[in-house]
Amino acid sequence: MQPNEATQDALAGTRAGALNDWYRLHAAQEVLTHALRAPETGRLALVSSFGAESVVLLHMVSVIDRATPVLFIDTEMLFTETLVYQQELAERLGLKSLHIIRAGAKDITAQDPDGTLHKTNPTACCALRKSVPLEAALKGYDGWITGRKRFQGGARIALDFFEVEKPSGRMKVNPLAHWRPEDVRTYMEENRLPRHPLVAKGYPSIGCSPCTSPVAPGEDPRAGRWRGQAQSECGIHIENGRIVRPPNTTQPQQGETA
């Protein structure tokens, strides 16, 4: 007899809680090593934007297991610098299982034929080009690895290493949850890792080209994302069982995910 959904959620939550208790004082590398090798976490993929800080987890994965699946969402609106950086970094680190994720051509034609959806409804654009393709790609995995950190604020301030994503029940692993900005910089410097070329041009957080602008000194690092709009998250992360969405936006229509 198969356990019902509530029982499965409870079991998954208990498993995540036990992992957090066990690894609370461990280093990020130990957490990631355990996540990739322990049977209780299942089959995992690293979801990477190849953005400003992505090289840290990509490097850790390349050291622990280069065959770890890496999912890269190409929205087809990314900076050219990001696409070049992705290719060069994947080759340098010897990543053996890189998967490029894109929205279906039919979906793009039906929902954003002229490529302007990001101007009229950025939430719907992120759903079309990021959330929906990622959800489809993750169906083959028991969980995924993210680069989220507590210092990024918002719903992330209480982030744990392990959490259960609802309603999918997938394990979400956040090895860098407890890192500080200086930890990221130190790791990059000590391992001589190449930075995204746009960081030096004032882009501490990098997304799609039309929706990302440089950040002035003293501004929040994410101030350049969807500047002047209510949008603040792309929607691929789920917090407390709900898809993260900016305030004052409508719920998705049937068949739409944000």
Catalogue the active-site residues.
Answer: 234
Q: For residue 200, with 0-12 CB atoms within 10 Å meaning exposed, 13-18 middle and 19 or more buried, which class applies?
A: exposed
The closest of 184, 230, 170 to 51, measured between CA atoms, is 184
Host H or E run for residue 72: strand 70-73
Per DSSP bridges, beta strands 70-73 and 162-164 are unpaired
Say how far apart CA 63 and CA 21 lie, in whole Å.
25
Contact criterion met (CB below 8 Å) for 71 and 57: no
Tokens of 74: 């190409």
Tokens of 14: 């208990």
Contact criterion met (CB below 8 Å) for 93 and 60: no
The conformational region for residue 206 under phi > 0 = left, psi -120 to 50 = alpha, else beta, is beta
Contact criterion met (CB below 8 Å) for 181 and 151: yes
